Amino acid sequence: MPRNQARHSAAISLGVMGAGFVATFPLLDYGWGALLHGGFEAGLVGGLADWFAVTALFRHPLGLKIPHTALLPRNRDKVVRSLVNVIENEFLTKDSIKSKVGAFLAGDKLIALAERHQEDAVRAIVAASGFAARSLPVERIVPFLARELKRKAAELDTVSLLTLLRNEVLARGFEEKAFQFILQKAEGILVRDAARDQLGAMAANALAGVKAGGLMGFAVNAFAGFMTEDKLGALLQNAILSSLRDMRQYESHPLRMLLLEEIRKLLLDLPNNEEVVNGLEAAKLNAIESVDLEGYLAKWLGELKEKAIAFVQEERYATDVVAPAVSGFLARFREEPEKLDAIRDWAQERVSSIVDENHSRIGVLVRENLDKLDNKTLIEMIEDKIGSDLQWIRVNGAVCGFLIGLVLEGVNLIF
């Protein structure tokens, strides 16, 4: 019942008792009249006493500063301290908060709660992803990332890299493939007319420079006079092409095997070749310093950021990425609830720590909120919450007083 209605009922009950008290004065000579008069008198006294008691809780009755009235305004600090003490040490104790939160963090309840709010979780993750993508500090990441990449590149061991490269080349047979490629390219060059002419000119110059006497000199001169540059070039061209084709076709060709063996020796000795190692080390350091790594990273990360922002805003990110991931996690936890133990234990530890550190703030918060209210507002708030019950005390006082008065006046008449 609203407080005003209860107050109205209390006033009516008090008025009825007062009216009955006055109306029964002419009936005092009659036994039943005296009985009613005594009842109304006691009801009036009870109603007035309870009105005084209820009013004295909040204010001075009739504005008179009677001692021990206006109890709440005069004892506000004591009431607030008591309220804070009750809330902290009786209602919201550390153990009660921890036990309630612990029960809430039970594995099945956590899973059920997550499943009920799965769509909310998806929206929250999408929103968090968008915020993270937009807030990515590219301008601060790039210098650090470039510096670290350069440092790591400078620390790379050239000998180890060469050893790794050599092992990969030999394990995958790249030296044979490279040799085959060279033979093919050499054959492609030698079949040209220009190569034939060059070989003929080189052979003719070589024969012209040969100095030999006697029969050998006669034979050489006869051969040189018989062979023209074109013939010499064609002869050498055919001989070399034949050897190249044989090496390409037959893996057991002696010259092929010899050349491959030499290539493998060079590869095996490559990490120990100081000239090669020093050259590669110098080239590595020069490349690190000459490359505009920050500019490249800034451009690349900028493009990646824009793509990430655009992607998380697409509907398929929520439906095809986030939602299946959330469903997968929940299904995994539902099938293997023991995996939640670590999360639950961590959450309980965090809750316990937070409660231990901030429990006293409950009382501080209550006190701060109460201190914001002046006495008038505080009294009105209390009356609004419990005023109707207090007004019924007045009604009960008048009624009980009336009944008790009837009993007492009845006893008085009997004796």
pLDDT at res. 69? 66
More reliable by pLDDT, 187 or 3: 187
CA dist 129 and 131 (Å) reads 5
For the chain, what percent of residues have pLDDT higher than 70?
71
On the question of pLDDT at 381 being above 70, the answer is no
Query: For residue 261, how far is the Cα from the chain centroid?
Result: 58
Q: H-helix or E-strand containing 138?
A: helix 138-155
Distance CA 68, CA 53 (A): 10
Average pLDDT rounded to a whole number, residues 125-147 = 88
Segment 167-187 shows an average pLDDT of 89
CA-based radius of gyration for the chain: 53
Helix, strand, or coil here: 284? helix
Region of poorest pLDDT, from 187-191, 232-236, 365-369: 365-369
User: In this structure, are residues 366 and 16 in contact, taking their beta carbons and an 8 Å threshold?
Assistant: no
pLDDT(215) > 60? no
Q: Distances in Å between the alpha carbon of 286 and those of 156, 214, 355, 356?
A: 14, 62, 58, 58
Residue 1 predicted with pLDDT over 50: no
Q: Which helix (H) or strand (E) holds 362?
A: helix 360-371
Which of the pair, 414 or 131, is modelled with greater confidence? 131
Which of 10-19, 80-89, 251-260 bottoms out in mean pLDDT, i.e. has the lowest? 80-89
User: Alpha helices of 191-253 — where are they, by DSSP H?
Assistant: 193-208, 214-226, 229-249
- Interval 89-132: pLDDT, tens: 766 676 776 676 666 655 566 667 667 778 888 888 889 988 98
Mean pLDDT of 152-178: 88
Closest-CA residue to 182 (of 269, 258, 261, 259): 259
pLDDT at 148 over 60: yes
Query: In sequence order, what are the residues at sequence separation of 6 or more whose Cβ sits closer than 8 angstroms to the Cβ of residue 176?
Result: 260
Q: Which residues of 310-341 are buried (b: 16+ CB within 10 A; e: fewer)?
A: eebeeeebbeebbbeebeeeeeebeeeeeebe
Banded pLDDT at 212 (limits 50, 70, 90): very low
Query: Residues 178-188: what's their mean pLDDT?
Result: 89
- pLDDT, the chain, mean: 77
* CA 116 – CA 130 distance, rounded (Å): 24
Q: Pick 175 or 28 by higher pLDDT.
A: 175
Which of the given ranges, 65-69, 101-105, 244-248, 364-368, has the highest pLDDT on average?
244-248
Q: What angle do CA 77, 80, 84 make, to 5 degrees?
A: 140
Confidence bin at 310 (pLDDT 50/70/90): very high
- Note the pLDDT of residue 22: 82
Residue 218 has pLDDT above 50, yes or no: no
Categorize the per-residue pLDDT at 71 as very low, low, confident or very high, splitting at 50, 70 and 90: low
Task: Give the percent of the chain with pLDDT over 90.
Answer: 3
**CB contact at 8 A, 398 and 43:** yes
3-class DSSP state of 192: coil
Contact between 133 and 309 under an 8 Å Cβ cutoff? The reply is yes
* DSSP single-letter state for residue 61: G
DSSP letter for 62, please: G
Other beta carbons within 10 angstroms of residue 368's beta carbon come to: 10
Q: CB neighbours of 105 closer than 8 A, spacing ≥ 6?
A: 344, 347, 348, 351
pLDDT for 306 equals: 92
